[in-house]
Structure 1
Amino acid sequence: MSENPFLTPSDLPYQLPPFADIRNEHYLPAFEAGMAEQLAAVAAIGADPAEPTFANTVVALERSGQGVFKRVNIAFHNKLSSDTDDELNAIETEISPRLAAHADKILLDAGLFARIEALWRNRAALDLDEQDERLLERYRTEFVRGGAALDAAGKERLAAINGELAELASAFNQQILADINDAAVHVTDLAELDGLGEDQIGAAAAAAKDRDLDGWLITQSNFSRHPLLEDLKDRGLRERLYKATIGRGAGNAATLLRMARLRAEKARLLGYEHFAAYIAADQTAGNAGIIAERLAGLAEASVRNARREAAELQEVIDAEGGDYALAAWDWSYYAKQVRQSKYGFDAEALKPYLELDRVLVDGVFHAAEKEFGLTFEARKDLEGYHPEARVWEVFDDGEPLGLFVGDFFTRDSKKGGAWMNALVVQSDLTGDKPVVVNNLNIVKPPAGQPALVSVDNVTTLFHEFGHALHGLLSACRYPKTSMTSTPRDFVEYPSQVNEMWEDWPEVVANYARHHETGEAAPAELIAQWKAAGKFGEGFASTEYLGAALLDQAWHRLTPEEVPDGGDDPYAVVQAFERKALEDAGIYMPEIAPRYRSGYFAHISIGYAAGYYSYIWSEILDADTVEWFKENGGLTRANGDHFREFLLSKGGSIDPMESYRRFRGRDAEIDPLLERRGLK
């Protein structure tokens, strides 16, 4: 084996991992070395004969995980999500339960917990500043929620549960990616693709060629609603595509049921009624009952709006002489027609003005420069983890700030969806500057063709870069509370705020230019785009809330209430879904939840019982957008204020206190209700 690059710090700028030198064979030995290194450091903390102090216990614990273990852990999980293969999947299967056991060895260490508890009880006398006290609180909370206060039998059972859950999550995620690839729809008759643009047909042809197939291949989306449903005129193909999309997940049914039962048992072991209560207790919401009440209230209004929209779509079908009732695979197609009829907006007419790099550089980066003084320089000399992962150096008023890595195209080796993660975590303690990654799943155009993106892709680019800004602008002392290390129901907030710039006049005028001529998009077309965005909130809210309520339903069960899979676990899961949605008053056969249970990746990667977070964060987002508008919009002064009081703080102080300091008060819900037509 070649020399393991994880065993020493990277000598690349900003400690970017040396991807050119990393091989699959390096991961397991590095994990083993890293875990041993950290456990030795932790053992030394526990064995220290000196009285516990903040420095010799909490700061020492914070430093213990910053070496080999952190380097390999971050690089491995980034590669696993973005560019996996069979060998990496096998490593994940092997290492996941070992990583869970490693964490438990630390969190269940009675001596270490005793030192932390002593400091917590005496915190008023420790002369801690705000960031110090927050770090102590997070460690103490993490240990308590990790089972440190349990008796020996409880600790043993919790460790077993955590190990099995890690194995199940690994299997669940690998099955999702396999299902996405297997559910692609093969088309052999070009006539069936009527309605698609040349770029979409070209991408489908390229996808088929990549798999040695004739004709065209429609690759799958992460969501229940495939984006091409709005363009395909052939109703039969729409139905086939929709059913292939929502038909995924059978292979995950038994895994899901087992995860639900184990999570319910874990919650009970730790003193909670159910797993949703366990999760809510450490979020800004604080209480699962409050979450349930808020979601129920929003669901009623959302379904009412969705039914009104459905009636409009049925009118279009009837007017065209369609002898059928609106079905789920028809919704997007006829919604597009209504938008065109009501607002004159055709998304395909805007698409030639939305070339990926121009949207990114002249839109996303441009807004960040106007708001925060950031500039970006392509670093073609720095290699990413995949040839399509491009690197930019980020400057803050001319001073080096960090690196941004953009990986925008879909591929069979990448999981679905879009996300941000860190490759290097900003910390004043370690002296590390941030390196962040944005991943999207835009369909790659044929060679030599421009990457023209959809309106939804534009929104996602701005959204994910909002997460990137939360990381890049972090100015925190400790890694544990840096960057996006906030509660789940807060972390989506900065990214949602950044979406406001996608159609801000100054920004859209800078990036919405024809990919061939450079001509600006007509003002009328931009106005139609903005106006058309008001239609469809009923569908969007119902689709989202269906998934959020489904997530809550699975995680509000006691161990005894989790259904048994029997001979057909998939049928059991489907029946549970139907009843849960009906009980929540949000079941509509024309609108599937954004994710169904078997391909709901969020519930296996840290968002279990937390998918409500998006709507919760949107309360803060909508209120913040109002603040920006009231104070002059896209100005450096506004950006500096947002940065100083919120983005730079990460999780180093209570996030809601950060919000109050930024806004001058608690958030109000009215702007959200008005935005979604729910007031």
Structure 2
Amino acid sequence: MLNLIPRPWRLFPLLGATTLLCAQDPAAAVGASNPLLTESPLPLQYPAFDQIKDDHFLPAFEQGMSEELAEVDAIANNPASPTFENTILALEKSGALLDRAGRTFYNLNSANTNPERQKIQRSLAPRLAAHNDAIKLNAALFTRIASLYEQRTSLGLDAEAQRLLWRYHQDFVRAGARLSEPDKAKLKTLNAELATLQTTFTQNVLKERDASSVLVDTREELAGLTDAQIAAAAAAAKTAGHEGQYLLALVNTTGQAPLTTLTHRALRQRIMEASLARGSRGNEFDNRAVVSAIAKKRAERAALLGYANHAAYQLEDQTVGSVDRLNKLLAQIAPAAVANARREAADMQAIADQENAGFQIAAWDWALYAEKVRQARYAFDESQLKPYYELNRVLADGVFYAAGRLYGISFQERHDLPVYEPTVRVFDVLDADGSQLAIFLFDPYARSSKNGGAWASSYVSQNPLRGTKPVVANHLNIAKPSDGQPTLLTHDEVNTAFHEFGHALHAMFSHVSYPRFAGSSVPRDFVEFPSQVNEMWATWPEVLQNFAKHYQTGAALPAELVAKVKAANKFNQGHATTEYLAATLLDQAYHQIGATEVPAPDAVLAFETAALQRYGVEFAPVPPRYRTTYFSHTFSGGYSAGYYSYIWAEVLDAQSVEWIKAHGGLTRENGDRLRRTVLSRGGSKDALDLFRDFAGAEPDIQPLLTRRGLDQPATE
């Protein structure tokens, strides 16, 4: 599943401002009662959620920025000659308070925001960016780093320390450390503006999603939904002040879950059109001007740093390597994907014609008629699976069970630690030897205060310099059922649970010498690789048999239904691949151009249409997974010019899955190999070398094409 995974906040390329406001003594503002100012006394420094108040954040950030700038100033102006210890290692040890405040705030703001936290986020965006610039553009500090880099072969450093020195030098150069002072000033201004714009985009998407919920007058229009779903819609409407009606909330993707079963076509159209219109309706949440400004300023910044465009700047630091290599990869996949999508549409149209439906298949018909094709071809539909996918069993007997079999780890739920929302669950994670490996938070349910999609995040990361172990969270967006009803998942939601836990494993198994490399501190186009590999266990026979049991009877998922699921594995992959590639190519379209080519606000939607046509992926029944104006991954979520990462990671994933299958599947030997070569190494070694260490080969696209049924599109 596609997901947005916030990386440790200090590793984001913070896009910054020119001034830093620290006029008061922040500690005095709240006194010693601020729990963020000291390490949490709870196990593994687990955040004291019950003690943290919104008015604690700004003082903690301000004191944290002040402390880190003082630490950096001491490093930069150290009269002693630069050494690895007094420069690079000292930087690794700096910023503890800011790191703690940043992780806590940004994770909470994503999972459980409120107006005050959004206000704090807007205030912090340019100030944190200015703070980042004050460090990365510090000439004296860069002189010390550059001096060490020039001597790197004679310093006697081990491989990981050498890589850390290279990483710091690379980070500072890419941040503009070599620019002239006038150009540094221009860069700071661009960074300030981008930080504010990206925050505005994020908040507009969240507010518009809630404002775009679809209000339904009659129960008859909801035909096709279950009684539990209808009851939930009625409750949502009552909460919103529309008692007697029904409210269908939107998720962040273009596609919406009710479209799979709703039989009322006019309502399906209303839902899809509301989804597609988000961020472009001319209201206060309209994102067209924000998009135009972000794309232009990113292009200007790339030019200032010496790159042809923002994509060239971003891809230089990724495993795919270059814009040309990426474009060739996408060109290899797109034609086959669209051809398969058109074939799938024809199959649906045939059923619609048999029903004398009297319409051409449109985007709002696709999910429903795809299910009809699935039923006709494979004699099953998704609704048959849901009674066997109860959330607690999926988690304990599926996700945790597979991890136990692979890695020997175990899980113990605990109820003594505070949580930020009552439905969040907390688990101790124990290693094979019984020692504590991590703490894991599981936050499964959708709510209006929570970002859309699914993601993993770390409240505390593995850090041998501070002696910390990981505190990791998984966030899903499953519809919460009515009180007393079970939480039954779709097949996609099961995959997402396994996917996100792959990210959690990456963080929990981290075993590096320096925090800069901990967990998922890897190139953006490699970060999805471990999580996508973990999806394979969702349908692995031993795992599936262990968790897929009827929530009422306990009966196992019937063998004949399992066989049908496997037979349908490539079903609808033309649609899935096309909607994803359309979004990916939009991301590249905005970022492979110069500043003068960026569309004006009123031309953003026309630019989108033209780009899809140019790339050959404009197919109205299959709109992009994210349209421009609610494409958070690329305009605010850290995936700018990087949304391709999922398909590139799947190239590596598909090849690795084939290796695992060929070497015995669900075994400790395979788990230990993946843990040793990839999951524990973080960014301490070149990412493609890690892949080679595990798979024993160079990346090969063929397993991906075969998996998605794209190798023979005309006949599949």
The TM-score by the shorter chain falls in which range?
over 0.9
1:46 to 76, 86, 100: 76
**Cα deviations across residues 336-386 of structure 1 (Å, max 9, x unaligned)?**
000111111221111111111110111000000000011011111111222
Residue 298 (structure 2) aligns with:
263
2:474 to 417, 429, 438: 438
**Cα deviations across residues 582-626 of structure 1 (Å, max 9, x unaligned)?**
000110011110000110010112100000000000010000000
1:482-631 counterparts in 2 under 5 A? 482-565=518-601, 569=602, 572-603=603-634, 604-631=636-663
Residue 132 (structure 1) aligns with:
161
Distance (Å, rounded) in 2 between the aligned partners of 1:607 and 1:361: 31
Measure how far apart 1:24 and its partner are.
Answer: 0.3
State the secondary structure of the residue aligned to 1:488.
coil
State the secondary structure of the residue aligned to 1:148.
coil
Amino acid of the structure 1 residue aligned with 2:679: L
Are residues 1:197 and 2:197 paired?
no
**Equivalent residues of 1:354, 1:511 under 8 A apart:** yes
Distance (Å, rounded) in 1 between the aligned partners of 2:583 and 2:644: 9
Are residues 1:55 and 2:55 paired?
no
TM-score, length basis structure 2? 0.93
1:167-246 counterparts in 2 under 5 A? 167-214=196-243, 215-246=245-276
Distance (Å, rounded) in 2 between the aligned partners of 1:330 and 1:49: 70
State the secondary structure of the residue aligned to 1:489.
coil
Distance (Å, rounded) in 1 between the aligned partners of 2:239 and 2:565: 34
Amino acid of the structure 1 residue aligned with 2:298: R
**Cα deviations across residues 511-570 of structure 1 (Å, max 9, x unaligned)?**
1111122221211112222222321010011000000000000011101111222xxx3x
1:655 to 677, 683, 687: 687
1:479 to 515, 521, 525: 515
Are residues 1:371 and 2:403 paired?
no
Are residues 1:646 and 2:684 paired?
no
Measure how far apart 1:199 and its partner are.
Answer: 2.6
Measure how far apart 1:11 and its partner are.
Answer: 0.7
Are residues 1:429 and 2:458 paired?
no
**Equivalent residues of 1:366, 1:507 under 8 A apart:** yes
Residue 73 (structure 1) aligns with:
102
1:4-23 counterparts in 2 under 5 A? 4-23=34-53
Distance (Å, rounded) in 1 between the aligned partners of 2:238 and 2:407: 44
2:288 to 244, 253, 259: 253
Amino acid of the structure 2 residue aligned with 1:382: L
Measure how far apart 1:650 and its partner are.
Answer: 0.7
Distance (Å, rounded) in 2 between the aligned partners of 1:439 and 1:132: 34
Are residues 1:404 and 2:440 paired?
yes
Distance (Å, rounded) in 2 between the aligned partners of 1:104 and 1:424: 24
Measure how far apart 1:205 and its partner are.
Answer: 2.2
Distance (Å, rounded) in 2 between the aligned partners of 1:207 and 1:647: 41
Distance (Å, rounded) in 2 between the aligned partners of 1:112 and 1:317: 67
Measure how far apart 1:22 and its partner are.
Answer: 0.2
Measure how far apart 1:121 and its partner are.
Answer: 1.1
Measure how far apart 1:102 and its partner are.
Answer: 0.2
Q: Percent identity?
A: 50
Amino acid of the structure 1 residue aligned with 2:387: P
Distance (Å, rounded) in 1 between the aligned partners of 2:685 and 2:463: 15
Measure how far apart 1:178 and its partner are.
Answer: 0.5
State the secondary structure of the residue aligned to 2:680.
helix
**Equivalent residues of 1:274, 1:558 under 8 A apart:** yes
Distance (Å, rounded) in 2 between the aligned partners of 1:321 and 1:564: 44
Distance (Å, rounded) in 2 between the aligned partners of 1:198 and 1:650: 46
Distance (Å, rounded) in 2 between the aligned partners of 1:583 and 1:676: 24
Are residues 1:296 and 2:328 paired?
no
Runs of at least 5 residues in structure 1 that lack an aligned partner in the other structure = none
Amino acid of the structure 2 residue aligned with 1:553: A
Distance (Å, rounded) in 2 between the aligned partners of 1:304 and 1:347: 25
Measure how far apart 1:239 and its partner are.
Answer: 0.4
Distance (Å, rounded) in 2 between the aligned partners of 1:534 and 1:678: 9
Distance (Å, rounded) in 2 between the aligned partners of 1:359 and 1:205: 28
280-289 vs 207-216, which deviates more? 207-216
Distance (Å, rounded) in 1 between the aligned partners of 2:710 and 2:508: 35
Distance (Å, rounded) in 1 between the aligned partners of 2:187 and 2:541: 54
Measure how far apart 1:174 and its partner are.
Answer: 0.4
Runs of at least 5 residues in structure 2 that lack an aligned partner in the other structure = 1-29, 281-285, 712-716
Tell me: CA distance 1:200–1:530, structure 2 relative to 1, closer, same or farther (3 Å): farther
State the secondary structure of the residue aligned to 1:330.
helix
State the secondary structure of the residue aligned to 1:657.
helix
**Equivalent residues of 1:383, 1:390 under 8 A apart:** no
Distance (Å, rounded) in 1 between the aligned partners of 2:313 and 2:493: 34
Residue 386 (structure 2) aligns with:
351
- The number of equivalent residue pairs is 673
**Equivalent residues of 1:229, 1:333 under 8 A apart:** yes
Measure how far apart 1:55 and its partner are.
Answer: 0.6
Amino acid of the structure 2 residue aligned with 1:637: E
Are residues 1:158 and 2:190 paired?
no
Distance (Å, rounded) in 2 between the aligned partners of 1:11 and 1:169: 35
2:452 to 395, 406, 416: 416
**Cα deviations across residues 600-656 of structure 1 (Å, max 9, x unaligned)?**
010112100000000000010000000110001000111001100111001111111
**Equivalent residues of 1:197, 1:348 under 8 A apart:** no
**Equivalent residues of 1:345, 1:532 under 8 A apart:** no
Measure how far apart 1:202 and its partner are.
Answer: 2.5
Distance (Å, rounded) in 1 between the aligned partners of 2:697 and 2:362: 45
Distance (Å, rounded) in 2 between the aligned partners of 1:220 and 1:236: 17
Distance (Å, rounded) in 2 between the aligned partners of 1:404 and 1:410: 19
State the secondary structure of the residue aligned to 1:591.
coil
RMSD: 0.9
Residue 305 (structure 1) aligns with:
340
**Equivalent residues of 1:6, 1:72 under 8 A apart:** yes
Distance (Å, rounded) in 2 between the aligned partners of 1:323 and 1:576: 32
TM-score, length basis structure 1? 0.98
Are residues 1:280 and 2:312 paired?
no
Distance (Å, rounded) in 1 between the aligned partners of 2:247 and 2:553: 31
